[in-house]
Amino acid sequence: MRSVSVLLALAACDLGEPALGDDVEETLTETGGCADLYAYAVDADDEVILEVRLDEPIAAAAGVDTSLTYAIPDGAVEVTLSVGTRVSDVSCDDVAENGGPQIDEIWTAVSGDVELDLVHPTEGDPKADVVLTNVVLESGDGEQVTIETFSWEDISVGWFAG
């Protein structure tokens, strides 16, 4: 009987699953980027991550500063928001620790705009500014949230983990 009581008590607990609201972007406090081209933003608890993957704009720019705008859906860009635990564990890192990220749900962008400004400094890796505008993310259940605006500024890209 005691084990049933413990199970019922655990079932009634809020285990901290993050709730997504229309202001989810305000919880994303750590940002980064790498590759050609990947940008991410994660919350302080490492439970929600917003990711942007672009199809090789650095290689296409061939060393020239470039500004591009993508309208979602576009095969050259993917924007997702994932919810789980240790969600950023392999972001710009090729070593999965403690079993790697545990993703419980993925929200996928169905509309909106992604702007990219790419700068090639004389020394070091390229730098990118990425701006999302009016990006609508949809869960597997059809729920939607909108990110009115979110930006990454001066992130180092073009390098690869490993």
pLDDT at 7 over 70: no
Helix (H) or strand (E) holding 59: helix 57-61
Neighbour count for residue 14 (Cβ, 10 Å): 6
pLDDT for 147:
95
The better pLDDT of the pair 134, 2 is held by: 134
Spatial neighbors of 54 by CB under 8 A, at least 6 apart, are: 36, 37, 38, 70, 76, 77, 114, 116
Q: Which pLDDT value is given to residue 19?
A: 52
pLDDT at 52 (0 to 100): 97
Residue 159 CA to residue 162 CA, distance in Å, equals 9
Q: Which amino acid is at 84?
A: G
How many of the other CB atoms lie within 10 Å of CB of 85?
17
Q: Buried b / exposed e across 24-35, counting CB within 10 Å, b at 16+?
A: bbebbeebbbbb
Average pLDDT, the chain: 85
How far is residue 161's CA from residue 136's CA, in Å, rounded to a whole number? 30
**15: pLDDT strictly greater than 80:** no
In percent, how much of the chain has pLDDT > 70? 86
For residue 126, how many other CB atoms are within 10 A of its CB? 22
Q: What is the pLDDT of residue 110?
A: 98
pLDDT classification of 22: cutoffs 50, 70, 90:
low
**How confident is the model over 32-79, as pLDDT tens digits?**
999 889 999 999 999 999 999 998 888 778 788 999 999 999 999 999
Q: Which residue has the higher pLDDT, 135 or 63?
A: 135
Contacts of residue 60, defined as CB under 8 A and 6 or more positions apart, other chains included, come to 66
Query: CA 110 to CA 73: how far, in whole Å?
Result: 6
Decide if pLDDT at 143 tops 50: yes
Confidence of residue 118 (pLDDT cuts 50, 70, 90): very high
Contact present, 118 and 133 (Cβ < 8 Å):
no
